[in-house]
């Protein structure tokens, strides 16, 4: 792995008692990796990430994992806000308009495996920016290969077949970790990740996928927030 230390000034100490329990995947949506690197290290911009991976597989390490980078913004997962407090952010050099490059994905797998092992984060702790902030963000988008990560034990993927109950869909999403509000935005984020290209109202396939994920990876939100 071509890992380069390129420190960003945009970080703070994590609040007492907080440690990484999520990894958030982003795309940069900028014209070049160099432009993204400059912005993530610009004190005026007040944004950062722990890592940036170029399309050629080069990795820039900008913030130490023990510190709080400023990548998630206003966000919620499993009923808890301020995702920056408890997450590691990885930016991928991509504008969301094309598939993610093979060297980039291969290095992402290596980096994720290291992070999950180092912090004891389970596969369900790897999420997209759109999962935690569905009203504001679309990254990493429908072109990102979540299933590939799941095959390596680095994320989750449904095993469901058949049909589910659409009336149970929102409750199952809540158990997975998705926010309760903005149901249309949450549905789009869910589909971009697990059913790219699906349209229309919540259907039985959405419901079957959500039930499978909730039963295998869901948590009691009240317990998780305690």
Q: In terms of pTM, does the model score above 0.75?
A: yes
In this structure, how many other beta carbons lie within 10 angstroms of the beta carbon of residue 32?
A: 13
Residue range 187-201, pLDDT digits in tens: 999 999 999 999 999
Domain 3-151, CATH class in plain words: alpha beta
**Which residue ranges make up each domain of the chain?**
3-151, 166-225
Catalytic one of 16, 65, 66, 91: 91
Bridge-partner residues for 67, per DSSP? 13
Residue range 95-146, pLDDT digits in tens: 999 999 999 999 999 999 999 999 999 999 999 999 999 999 999 999 999 9
Give how far Cα 122 sits from Cα of 27, 42, 51, 125, 163, Å. Answer: 22, 32, 19, 5, 27
Residue range 7-30, pLDDT digits in tens: 999 999 999 999 999 999 999 999
- What local confidence, expressed as pLDDT, does residue 161 receive? 72
Query: Has residue 226 got a pLDDT over 50?
Result: no
65 as an active site residue: the answer is no
In this structure, how many other beta carbons lie within 10 angstroms of the beta carbon of residue 36?
A: 24
For 115, the 3-state DSSP assignment is helix
């Amino acid at each position: 792995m071509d890992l380069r230390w390129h420190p960003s000034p945009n970080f703070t100490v994590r609040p007492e008692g907080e440690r990484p329990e999520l990894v958030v995947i982003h795309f940069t949506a900028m014209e070049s990796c160099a432009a993204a690197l400059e912005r993530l290290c610009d004190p005026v911009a007040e944004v950062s990430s722990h890592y940036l991976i170029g399309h050629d597989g080069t990795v820039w390490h900008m913030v130490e994992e023990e510190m709080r980078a400023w990548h998630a913004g206003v966000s919620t997962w499993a009923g808890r806000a301020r995702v920056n407090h408890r997450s590691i952010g990885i930016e991928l050099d991509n504008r969301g308009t094309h598939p993610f490059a093979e060297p980039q994905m291969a290095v992402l797998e290596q980096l994720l495996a290291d992070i999950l092992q180092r912090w004891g984060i389970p596969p369900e702790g790897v999420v997209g920016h759109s999962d935690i902030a569905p009203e504001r963000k679309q990254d990493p988008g429908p072109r990102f290969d979540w299933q590939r990560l799941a095959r390596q034990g680095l994320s989750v993927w449904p095993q469901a077949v058949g049909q589910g109950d659409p009336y149970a869909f929102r409750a199952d999403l809540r158990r997975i970790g998705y926010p309760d509000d903005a149901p249309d935005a949450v549905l789009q984020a869910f589909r971009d990740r697990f059913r790219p290209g699906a349209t229309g109202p919540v259907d039985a396939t959405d419901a079957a996928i959500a039930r499978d994920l909730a039963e295998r990876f869901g948590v009691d939100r009240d317990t998780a927030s305690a």
